[in-house]
Structure 1
Amino acid sequence: MESKVLLDLKNVNKVFGQNHVLKDINLQIERGKFITFLGPSGCGKTTLLRSIAGFYTVDQGEVWIDGKIVNDLPPYKRGTPMVFQEYALFPHMTVFDNVAYGLDIKKVPEAEVQQRVQAALTQVKLTGLEERYPHQMSGGQQQRVAMARALVMNSPIILLDEPLSNLDAKLREEVRVELRNIQQDLGLTVIYVTHDQLEALSMSDYIVVFNRGRIDQYGTPHDIYYKPRTRYVADFIGTTNFIEGVVERQDGNTANVVYGKGQKVAIPTEGSWSPGEKVILSVRPESLRLNPAETLDFHMKGKVQASMFLGEKERYYIMDDEGKEWIIDAYDIGQTSFDGEVTFAAKADKLHIIQYDEGEE
């Protein structure tokens, strides 16, 4: 029976000189999933992708693909075609020849090459452009050629290294949808590297959040956004508000937390918290309500410092009584605007408890 796990990374480490880039990476990736490696520049995400592809040799640990250890295999024997940020197309070759290059290297019969190249070009909507050269194509079309070159190899896994970063915003969104559709239609396993949180949230089945060479969290986009395990993850993914609190007690799956000027809130939690433990509460700007008509579980008072109209929402910057700034998004408020002293509040299930880390500010 075929294993669900296609890629298995075991205790992977990579060092460049004095720089320990990958630190004890352990990760299992299932077949047919769209996985995004997410994090800022220098966090190790591209190094790990290139280590999977075989362009880098890991200094410690094992890389398993489809049940086989591949540490000693060169890139062309791993079955991990890669789409690069700069596309890496051959300028002197036509679209057809660029896409067929990997098949020619493997000495695939000509009739099969024709069939597979045409199928790949159809999948990326480039039929009829076989004889064009890269310089005759737009950035979006070049990106599709690079994708077709990966698809034509019929590999179970495809690696994408920030392939949309050179496209403008509108085209990036269009290609993003196309990539996701292709992945789902063909049942491919895709590993996608980006520093763009919106790309990660909108395309992925699972997201791997990197922090200085380590994996801080691996989970669904919903879990990463609403249930971050660390302050780093909560702060890196979108915008959030933090406030310190102290656990009074925990009753089953509910933690009673004291915050602000002695206010208390009972928060649903999957964690285990000790009485007296210092914690961080995270709440997203869209989860807070300004001057709500009903009484909500979590509530604070403050003064509007500034606001910004962003089309579908108005973003407010509010200073609370303790001198801390909050960001609150108000949607669909029509002509209503808030000014001066306000109350802001949220339901308890919109708050998330994060372990307090003295060194993480």
Structure 2
Amino acid sequence: MGTQVLLDLKNVNKVFGSNHVLKNIDLQIEAGKFITFLGPSGCGKTTLLRSIAGFYTVDEGEIWIDGKLVNDLPPYKRGTPMVFQEYALFPHMTVFDNVAYGLDIQKRPEAEIQDRVKAALAKVKLTGLEERYPHEMSGGQQQRVAMARAIVMDSPIILLDEPLSNLDAKLREEVRVELRNIQLDLGLTVIYVTHDQLEALSMSDQIVVFNKGVIDQHGTPHEIYYKPSTQYVADFIGTTNFVDAVTAHIEGDRVTLKYGSNSDTVIVTTNEQLTVGEQVLLSIRPESMRINQQPDPGDFITNGVVKSSMFLGEKERYFLAGDEGKEWIVDAYDIGQTSFQGIVKIRAAADKIHLIKVAK
């Protein structure tokens, strides 16, 4: 049995006035996955989420949920409950009534409402708090009430719009783990919107990176981080060092590249279709570089001068000045009390270097 596509977006476009917010979005999402829409403010991720929910009507394209075309269905008939940033709980209602609200509107039998609400609250570990009011609960508990309200509807997809942004850092981390556990335990399909890269990397099965209304890349967290398809993705996710290089020789998937003022060479493997003499970008993550270590043959090597460093607990982050005003960021782990100073050698193994084609 193959994987089931639960959400299918075909050529979705949305325009607000003169602003073309979503441009020809094609995306398929499988059942039981945790999918994150990631990107900066104004990139289209929330607009797409709200279009899936039915709060916005798309100007072009089709939205299919569970094999049904839902373009003309109102939000409450789509089976896509949404958990908002501010949770949107009713302050005058108890936890039980907040969670039961959607079922009440559907006029479900009282016994069924009782059973389903109790089951939903048990799933988010809120049993015993049915009679509390939202203001009597912590931010994390309110978050779980909002989640229970979505789960109780037995919907195919749950939509989450930056639901952790109101929580402090430590609580965010706890609720992040909880949300992921609930999703895995119940086999839910979740679409989660955030601009927080760490949140996306740590929680998702798949990440969809948005850039000005288009999808730049859709892949696993590892693919997005280590194999970004564009400079924008490499730059947006984490920190990286970009190096201008030129292809000197191509043999199958092995490409010899020249870089730096001395025209040093490094050989990397890539699936990109390239021609000799083509300008490309190399992306090297700070944690993939080493300072003052004996290089192996074929390593990427360059020199730099330590300008400053920042102690981050498990690592020391160095900011270095290289040739021709180039700036480098290098992370050194577990080096004890020693610090690097002055002129240093920087190296990176060839298999840690990712090649990005430069958009023409």
Q: What's the counterpart of residue 290 of structure 1?
A: 291
Shift of 1:123: 1.1
Number of aligned residues: 358
Q: What's the counterpart of residue 179 of structure 1?
A: 179
CA distance in 2, matches of 1:193, 1:249: 42
Counterparts of 1:118-137 in structure 2, within 5 Å, are: 118-137=118-137
Q: What's the counterpart of residue 149 of structure 1?
A: 149
Q: What's the counterpart of residue 6 of structure 2?
A: 6
CA distance in 2, matches of 1:308, 1:172: 25
Counterparts of 1:71-220 in structure 2, within 5 Å, are: 71-220=71-220
Q: What's the counterpart of residue 266 of structure 1?
A: 267
Letter in 2 for 1:98: N
CA distance in 2, matches of 1:108, 1:289: 63
CA contact (8 A) 2:34 2:206 kept: yes
Shift of 1:248: 1.0
Which segments of 5 or more consecutive residues in structure 1 lack a partner in the other structure?
none
Question: How high is the TM-score relative to the length of structure 2?
Answer: 0.98
Q: What's the counterpart of residue 330 of structure 1?
A: 332
CA distance in 2, matches of 1:57, 1:27: 17
Q: Decide which moves more: 246-255 or 167-176.
A: 246-255
Counterparts of 1:20-35 in structure 2, within 5 Å, are: 20-35=20-35
Letter in 2 for 1:126: L
Shift of 1:2: 8.2
Shift of 1:336: 1.9
Q: Decide which moves more: 78-87 or 292-301.
A: 292-301
- Deviation per CA, 1:98-140, whole angstroms, max 9, x where unpaired? 0000011111111111111111111111111101111111111
Shift of 1:295: 2.5
Letter in 2 for 1:314: E
CA distance in 2, matches of 1:3, 1:334: 48
- Deviation per CA, 1:163-200, whole angstroms, max 9, x where unpaired? 00000111110010011011111111100000000000
CA distance in 2, matches of 1:3, 1:172: 31
CA distance in 2, matches of 1:208, 1:165: 19
CA contact (8 A) 2:183 2:190 kept: yes
Residue 290 to residue 2, structure 1, CA distance change in 2 (3 Å): closer
CA contact (8 A) 2:272 2:357 kept: no
- Deviation per CA, 1:42-79, whole angstroms, max 9, x where unpaired? 00000000000000000000000001110000000000
Question: How high is the TM-score relative to the length of structure 1?
Answer: 0.97
Q: What's the counterpart of residue 319 of structure 1?
A: 321
Letter in 2 for 1:166: N
Residue 247 to residue 75, structure 1, CA distance change in 2 (3 Å): same
**Runs of 4+ off more than 3 Å:** none
Which segments of 5 or more consecutive residues in structure 2 lack a partner in the other structure?
none
Shift of 1:302: 1.1
Three-state SS of the structure 2 residue aligned to 1:322 is helix
Alignment identity in percent? 75
